[in-house]
Chain A
Amino acid sequence: EVQLVESGGGVVQPGGSLRLSCAASGFTFHDYALHWVRQAPGKGLEWVSRIAGYGDGGSTIYADSVRGRFIISRDNSKTSLYLQMNSLRTDDTALYYCAKESGSYLWGMDVWGQGTTVTVSS
């Protein structure tokens, strides 16, 4: 069974840092691009970041709202995805999902984790 399980969420003060993890299983991890997508309470889906698979060199891209503060990375040997979040702001409060790309960016995200909650508050 293809599965993604996020962890690492919590409560942090503005300006603080947090590292999210996403453990993957059931597919050839290094072959697939992965995304982080977030959802603020009661709001819609907002894409955060993408990291390409091994074949595409693991290149990364970010939403304007997090560029320079967040870093996406992956460890193919541990089949894990990460999101290092620095200089957190109150508007970063959200449920953070990791999602697997379908096999091509063009085909959307076919597997999602259950999410991990990040709350930025003083």
Chain B
Amino acid sequence: DIQMTQSPSSVSASVGDRVTITCRASQGISSWLAWYQQKPGKAPELLIYAASSLQSGVPSRFSGSGSGTDFTLTISSLQPEDFATYYCQQANSFPPTFGPGTKVDIK
């Protein structure tokens, strides 16, 4: 199975900050990576698919990049509603595997 890691595990940031989260796959996954946002007590929501494609309805302050084994999720200007946990997931092969998550909280 492909192992996914994320860094940092948590980040404290202020409204308006630029936040970058990194995801690494244990082997190449081309561009088949998705990012999800999960708020406390809520289901995950798809933000980005195919590494850099913005899911419909997701604000443009979210962006994704990368290919192969290294990927990033960037929030260009953090908003109050963005405080959440973010997960990456590889969709290159079965089984799908998730990263351990990155919690973004208020500084």
Contacts and interface: CB of A to CB of B under 8 A. Distances in A.
Contact of B101 (A44, A50, A108, A114): A44
Interface residues of B, number: 25
Interface in A41-64: 44-47, 50, 61, 63
Nearest to A46: B98
Interface SS of B by simple majority: loop
A113 B43 contact: yes
Contacts of A115: 43
Contact of B50 (A107, A109, A112): A107
Q: Which size bracket describes the interface of A in this complex?
A: 20 to 34
Given A45-B87, A106-B91, A112 B44 contact: yes
A108 B89 contact: yes
A110 to B, nearest CB: 5
Q: 10 closest A-B pairs (Cβ-Cβ)? A: A108-B34, A112-B43, A107-B49, A45-B98, A108-B49, A44-B101, A110-B46, A47-B96, A106-B32, A106-B91
Interface SS of A by simple majority: strand
A1 B53 CA distance: 22
A44 B32 contact: no
A113 B42 CA distance: 9
The winner among A37, A105, A109, A113 for most chain B CB atoms within 10 A is A109
B69 interface: no
Interface in B39-73: 42-46, 49-50, 53, 55
A97 interface: yes
B95 A108 contact: no
Contacts of B36: 45, 108
A113 to B, nearest CB: 6
A61 B94 contact: yes
A97 B45 CA distance: 12
A106 B91 CA distance: 5
A102 interface: yes
A109 B36 CA distance: 9
